[in-house]
Amino acid sequence: AWRQKQVLRLDLLACPSCHAELKQVDDQLACTQCQTVYPIVAGLPYFIEQQELTGLNRRFSRLYDWFSWGYRAFSKAAFAYIGMSEEEARREVIDRLDPQGGPVLEVSIGPGVNLPYLVDRPDISTIAGLDISPGQLHRCQEFAASQDWAVQLHLGTAEALPYPDNTFAGVFHIGGINFFNDKQKAISEMIRVAQPGARILICDENEKGAQAYERVLPGFKHSFKGQRQAIVPPIDLVPPTMQEIKLYDIWKGWLYCIEFRKSNLDQSSEDLPAPTIALQTG
C-alpha cells in the first residue's frame, strides 16, 4: 500500500556523504558521484546501517526502536501530566513555521505525531521526515498510509542529512538533539538544507524534562550509564550569521526552543557582528 501511494522524490534527495544527486536502480539509490549505494527497504530509503551507528546515536536508535510501540500513548500521558492538550502543545511549535508555500522537513519525525498539524496547511507544499530509528519510521509510514497522506520518509542521521543544499522552506526538530553524537554537525546540517530565509526550530527537553524522563521512561537513564551531563540548550552552536535568533521555553517550561532564520548572506561569521539573542521565558 505504501509503495502504491508514495512516489519517491529524488529531487528532494542527495547523497548524505558528498551531497551529489542520486539515481534509482530497482530497490536502491546510487550516488552519481561517489557511487555509494543506499537500499530502499519496504519503500523507505535507508541512508544508514544500524550496525555502523556509534555512541549515543546507537543507544537511542535502539531505545526508540523498542519504545516505538508505546510512543503515542506515552505522549498523550505526558501532555496530560503537564496540563496541555497534545494539539495545543504541538501547535505551539509547528505554527511558528513560515514555509510560504515551500517544502518542510522534520528531523526526528518519530511515528509521525506532528503530521496531523502539517498535512492540511496550504503554505506547505511537501512534507519530508527523517529518523534514526527504523521502528519509529515504519510506524510513521503505516500512520501516513492509513490516512492517505503523502509524506517523504527517510532513515538517516541528523548529522548527515540526505538532502541537497537550500531545499526546505522550513526545518524543525522536537526532541533528540540533547543526545545526538554531534550537536554542532546536526545544527549545521539543518542550516545547510534550509533555504535562505527559512525559519528553523530546534526543541528538546530542558533539565527538568530530562529528569522526568529518567523517572518514568524505562531505559532512558540506563542509556547513559550514570554519565549524563546536565542539559544546556545548544544556542551557542547557532552561527552568529543567522537571523532573528531566539531562545525560549515551550510546553509550560518543560522544553526549550531555539528559533532562527537562515541568513541570505554568504559572508562568514568573522565578517559580521554577533547579533543580539532574544531570551524569553515562560
Task: For the sheet with 152-155, list strands across it.
Answer: 152-155, 124-131, 102-107, 168-174, 194-205, 255-261, 243-250, 278-279
- Upper half-sphere CA count for residue 260 (Cβ side, 13 Å): 28
- Strands 102-107, 168-174: pairing is parallel
- Residue 275: the pLDDT is 40
Q: Are 120 and 143 in contact (CB under 8 A)?
A: no
Cα separations (Å) of 156 from 30, 52, 57, 102, 124? 15, 12, 11, 22, 23
The SS3 of residue 222 is helix
Write out the residue range of the structural domain in which residue 117 sits: 2-279
Asked if 16 contacts 156 with a C-beta cutoff of 8 angstroms, the reply is yes
CB count within 10 Å of CB 110 equals: 25
CA distances for 261 relative to 98, 170, 224, 227, angstroms: 10, 9, 33, 34
Q: Residue 78: which CATH number?
A: 3.40.50.150
**Which stretch of DSSP H or E encloses residue 141?**
helix 134-146
Contact assessment for residue 132 and residue 64, using Cβ atoms and an 8 Å cutoff: yes
| pLDDT of amino acid 277 | 45
**Residues forming a β-bridge with 199:** 170, 261
Residue segments in the chain with a per-residue pLDDT below the cut of 70 = 1-6, 50-74, 209-229, 266-282
Helix or strand holding residue 248 (H, E): strand 243-250
Residue-wise pLDDT tens digits, 159-170: 999 999 999 999
pLDDT at 269: 39
Q: pLDDT at position 206, please?
A: 87
CB 8 within 8 A of CB 45: yes
Structurally, the chain folds into a number of domains equal to 1
pTM of the model: 0.84
Looking at residue 5, its pLDDT comes to 55
What is the predicted pLDDT for the residue at 38?
Answer: 96
**pLDDT reported for residue 174:** 96
